[in-house]
Structure 1
Amino acid sequence: MVQNPARRTALVNAAIEVLARDGARGLTFRAVDAEAGVPKGTASNYFANRDDLLNQVGAHIHERLSLDPAGVDPAQPPSRDLLAELMRALYHHISADRTGWLALLELRLEATRRPELRAALTETLRTNLERNVQGRRDSGLPGDDTTTILLYYAMTGLILENLTVPDVLAPFDVDDLIGTFVDRCLAT
């Protein structure tokens, strides 16, 4: 296998674009090569097979969708308001990368048909959820582990709705909804 990490990342990002636009059936090495603007046959030099490509997309996509906490004021004390601000930042960050989220949805659907991909994606998603739980613990943000899990899935549903059928949410102020999620999850 070829070992140019920048080229591999570019190919994985191209695969994400193809997956979001054309679905899992449209994800071919030829389509990835075309999307990346590289010569035909390049992707096949970097990935052993289609399953390898799907697994690498699954591993990379969460890095691409992760929120960089550097955008949040580190001097701000842990609070309900900070938690709501982080959830809003996450929503807007993921909404800005529509293709990344749609590709993740396609991966989830493809995982229902591919046990190896399901196992890899399950591990990635479980690890992501565990990092969120541990991150809230370490940060001192209010709530408990269940709060984190409830917010994780509330945000997942909100993002899914926004990126697939956005007109459903059009009458609502999404930032207010997110604040309400946080308030209700923290209600004692």
Structure 2
Amino acid sequence: MARWQPETTQRLIVAAVDLFGEQGYDATTVAQIAERAGVTKSTFFRHFSDKRELLVAGQETLSRLLAEGIAEAPADATPLTAVGLGLERVAGAMGPANRELGPRLKAAVAASTELQERDALKNIGLAAAMSTALLARGVPEATAQLAAELGLLAFKRGFARWTEDDRTHDRGLAHHALAALRELHAAATSLG
């Protein structure tokens, strides 16, 4: 096995998700993931502390991009407009590999309680990043938290739609996430 190969992190993630789907999360070992990715076990541990961490690969980047998009929104932007700009920033960083991996990762998470717990923590982190960025803009705390939760839900719904969308009419992740944000805003307004 070659020690340094390009795109090692992505190969490890794909290998893990494929193995989780084939044999389950609990039955998959780090050694199997490393072997499938064509790297050594020690290389795996240079990228991830354990196999659970594969699920949150990129979380820091997503949080940073969401926060940057919100921070760079015009001063007169509403909280949801700022969140929408954060979603657009994230969408610009996600490509075909994310789209292809999405349904397989969703299935792996659905089949494992441990991965569901880790996914929930990831979601909390993404919402916190948005809320913190909104608070820094002077948005009141309750409004910031609500806008962040709507943003998180819009991202999740938009991502699901994007991965399921007909590839011949690819409208992109930003389209789906922003459409979901508008739907959620309308739904929240209708609550009375």
TM-score tier by shorter-chain length is 0.5 to 0.7
Write the distance in 1 (CA, Å) between the matches of 2:6 and 2:50: 11
Alignment equivalent of 2:37, drawn from 32, 50, 58: 32
Query: Is 2:8 the counterpart of 1:11?
Result: yes
**Structure 1: runs of 5 or more not aligned:** 34-41
- CA-CA distance at 1:23 after TM superposition: 6.4
Contact between 2:52 and 2:118, CA under 8 Å: does it hold in 1? yes
The count of residues paired between Structure 1 and Structure 2 equals 170
Contact 1:84 1:182 in 2 (8 A): no
Tell me how far 1:111 sits from its aligned partner. 3.3
| 1:52 CA displacement | 6.1
Q: Does 1:125 align with 2:130?
A: no
Query: How far apart are residue 160 of structure 1 and its match?
Result: 1.4
Return the alpha-carbon distance in structure 1 between the equivalents of residues 84 and 164 of structure 2.
Answer: 23
Instruction: Determine the structure 2 residue equivalent to 1:39.
Output: none
The equivalent residue for 2:25 is none
Q: Which residue in 2 is equivalent to 1:43?
A: 40
Give me the CA root mean square deviation.
Answer: 4.3
Q: Are 1:153 and 2:158 counterparts?
A: no
Task: Please report the TM-score for the alignment, with normalisation by the length of structure 1.
Answer: 0.61
What is the TM-score when the length of structure 2 is the normalising length?
Answer: 0.60
Q: Can you list the C-alpha shifts for 1:62-116, whole angstroms capped at 9, x where unaligned?
A: 235442655788483151344433333333333xx23235545534432344344
Q: Which runs of 5+ in 2 are unaligned?
A: 23-31
Kept after mapping to 1: 8 A contact 2:34/2:40: yes
1:139 aligned residue: 137
Contact 1:84 1:178 in 2 (8 A): no
Q: Indicate how the Cα distance of structure 1 residues 30 and 168 shifts in structure 2: closer, same or farther if over 3 A, else same.
A: same
Partner of 1:36: none
| Closer/same/farther in 2, CA of residues 116 and 87 from structure 1, 3 Å limit | closer
| C-alpha distance in 2 between matches for 1:72 and 1:145 | 13
In the alignment, is the contact (CA less than 8 A) between 1:29 and 1:43 conserved in 2?
A: yes
